[in-house]
Chains A and B, each alone.
Chain A
Amino acid sequence: MHPDPIVEAKVQDLIYRTEKYGKKIKMRPSKRDRSSLEQFIKTKEQADLFMKMLKMA
């Protein structure tokens, strides 16, 4: 429970409205992999630039 009763009332209102009006939506798995740098480093040039930055650091 939130220590501020006004905030707690807002939370309970949101819970009530979510359970009453929220729809069953099947979300597809995200294609975006946030766990590695592979998504950012695609080319040799990018890898070289990253290496250069590492050496300067």
Chain B
Amino acid sequence: MAVAVTIDFRNTYQVEPVSDDYRISKFNTILKDGTSEELKIKISNNAHELMPNVYNLAFGPEDDKGKINDKAELPHTDYSRVFSTILLEAYTYLRKHKTDSIGIDGSDMNRAILYFRFIQKNYDYLTGIFNIYGLKYYVRITRFGKTQYQNPFDFDDIFLKPQLIEKGEKINFDSLYNYFVFGLKEQLNIISL
């Protein structure tokens, strides 16, 4: 999905709230074939295991069981409007939950690159209201070589390194952030680990 997205909170779809705690909402996007598709936005009620004030935001169409299919690739007529709607919803949530931050998962390399480009293209607009962090997950490898353990990964020793994303930041896509965190700028939000 190579699309240029311009975030503009004036250009959003009408969101229909579902839950009264701002965690679940829906809106309709228009697809390129002219049909309408309902998208669900869901902000987790469980904080990230390693970041106590970060709540994951997922979005996408619902499957038959009512779960969000966040891998769906839909041909939207207006990607800018879709992502502006999602981020306005996140902004509204943060206005009502001011000590929280919202996490968006770049679940694969393509998504991570896409989100990073969105952030860079809209850097001034977004950083006017958000502090935006990129996170890379690191896992300790317990041993190399002949005596390597059967499972070489120490999953209990994950190291998170949140970094404030900078304007025009150049980064090798192989070591790109794989999780993005948005906190309200006005709250001087500091991610606690």
- B129 lies within 8 A of chain A by Cβ: yes
* Cβ B18 vs Cβ A25 within 8 A: yes
Residues 74-97 (chain B) with a chain A CB within 8 angstroms: 88-89, 91-92, 95-96
Q: How many A-B residue pairs have CB under 8 A?
A: 92
Q: Is chain B's binding surface mostly helix, strand, loop or mixed?
A: mixed
Q: A4-B10, A15-B96 are in contact. Are A36 and B44 (CB under 8 A)?
A: no
* Cβ A47 vs Cβ B19 within 8 A: no
Residues 14-50 (chain A) with a chain B CB within 8 angstroms: 14-15, 17-19, 21-25, 27, 29-30, 33-38, 41, 44, 47, 50
* Cβ B139 vs Cβ A37 within 8 A: yes
Task: Return chain A residues, CB-CB under 8 Å to B95.
Answer: 11, 15
Contact with A along B1-42 (1 / 0, CB 8 A): 000000001101001111111111100000000000000000
Option from A22, A25, A30 in Cβ contact (under 8 Å) with B46: A30
Q: Which A residues are within 8 Å of any B CB, using their own CB?
A: 2-4, 6-7, 10-11, 14-15, 17-19, 21-25, 27, 29-30, 33-38, 41, 44, 47, 50-51, 54, 57
* Nearest 4 pairs of A and B residues by beta carbon: A22-B20, A35-B49, A18-B17, A7-B9
